[in-house]
Amino acid sequence: MTHTIQPSNPETTPAPDATDIPATRPGTGAAGVPVPAAAGTAALPAALKRRIPKYSDLAPLMQFKKPQFSKEARLKRASTVWELRDIAKRRTPQAPFDYTDGAAEGEITLRRAREAFLDIEFRPGILRNVSSIDLSTGILGKPSRLPVGIAPTGFTRMMQSEGEYAGSQAAEAAGIPYTLSTMGTASIEDVAAAAPNGRNWFQLYLWTDRDRSLELIERAARAGNDTLMVTVDTAVAGARLRDVRNGMTIPPALTLKTVLDASYRPAWWFNFLTHEPLTFASLSRYTGTVAELINSMFDPTLTFEDLDWLRETWKGKLVVKGIQTVEDARKVVDHGADGIVLSNHGGRQLDRAPIPFHLLPEVSKALKADNSNAAVMLDTGIMSGADIIAALALGADFTLIGRAYLYGLMAGGRAGVDRVLQILEKDMARTMALLGVSSISELTPDHVRILGK
């Protein structure tokens, strides 16, 4: 039987029965009329009375710790990627830091890309069982423990001497893909040897000289790379004005300015001098200067016919990076791409370019309408695990980080990259739990609203 309990109203005092009122009692006057107590005469609770603290009360509070200045302690204190960026800036000379941190011209594209992730509203569900969060997903036919991989970055050992080795080994340990750039400073073979159990991808700039491209493709296949990522948004190099102001050259050179700047960062300076000089290891088998190779690398004559040639040549998974319109997304899939990366090159090519996060819902919808199974990936602007969850909810199958992992690399080498991935994983798990979802597959566009739309 169900019993209904009526709540009482604390503001209503029931009238006492007349027989219950004594003729006189403390605090009453004649005829039992209540006499108000004088203000301030009520006794204070014991907890509110002041007293001199005892040593036994203070002892548990006095937990003074010895200051820690180790790399591990420094990285552990960082709770966000932004805090790792601050550490990286203090420890890295201006030229390599700005090469990582900067973008093209007025850097409007990069700023807008980051703001895009801020201009959203999450829409959580409640009363869901989120005691266990599963961040694993599948990408291009294989599993990934997290829905994020490491994007291709050039000059990586210039940022910190461990470079591609740190990135590939951290990715291997985290169970996620790592992408080596054609402009990387470790060879395809050396990265494969450093992370033999990792999932290694290779990024390619398709050159006019097919023999050079073909040799790199064959080396990537022999080294066990299962995915080739061709970058298509570099018909010419963008105007990266920070590099111009810093005297950053290709190949990298140390001028008086950069030497003086580096002298304030002794750890970077020591590592730079005591490790193998920087080279583009994937290109080192060719004759000629690096500058000449770069001039041939950014080919303004590329067309979809070149993509067809690449599709016929490469037998593994083919991803096209640098997609910035719905039409081009559909077109590269029609030409055989297994996946696309919505990317404006981190804002480093065309300033005021489309923002991948804004483009994502439309591209995802268009490819689904075409019954396409092509993977939709996204980079540019990601600085937190919440950014990644928002992208997945709006239709991305996977995400890639470039600057975010480089900030960790500059802050602490391999341990710094590990810390970035730890921060992102914790962010993602917390965000999903608060949204009321326990697996990536449960995320939908209903979980995110883009403000102002």
Check if 345 is active-site: yes
Range list of β-strands (E), 308-386:
317-323, 339-342, 375-378
Three-state DSSP state, 262: helix
DSSP line for 137-204: EEETTEEESSSEEEPP-SSHHHHSTTHHHHHHHHHHHHT-EEEE-TT-SS-HHHHHHHSTTSEEEEEE
How far apart, in whole angstroms, are the C-alpha atoms of residue 220 and residue 453? 44
DSSP line for 19-57: GGS-S--TTB-GGG-B-PPPTT-SPPPGGGS--PPPHHH
How far apart, in whole angstroms, are the C-alpha atoms of residue 250 and residue 256? 17
H-helix segments, 52-140: 55-58, 71-77, 81-91, 94-101, 108-118
Q: What is the largest CA-CA distance in the chain?
A: 115
How far apart, in whole angstroms, are the C-alpha atoms of residue 145 and residue 136? 4
How far apart, in whole angstroms, are the C-alpha atoms of residue 131 and residue 125? 14
Active-site residue, from 275, 345, 358, 447 = 345
Q: Read off the amino acid at residue 435.
A: L
Q: Catalytic amino acids?
A: 345
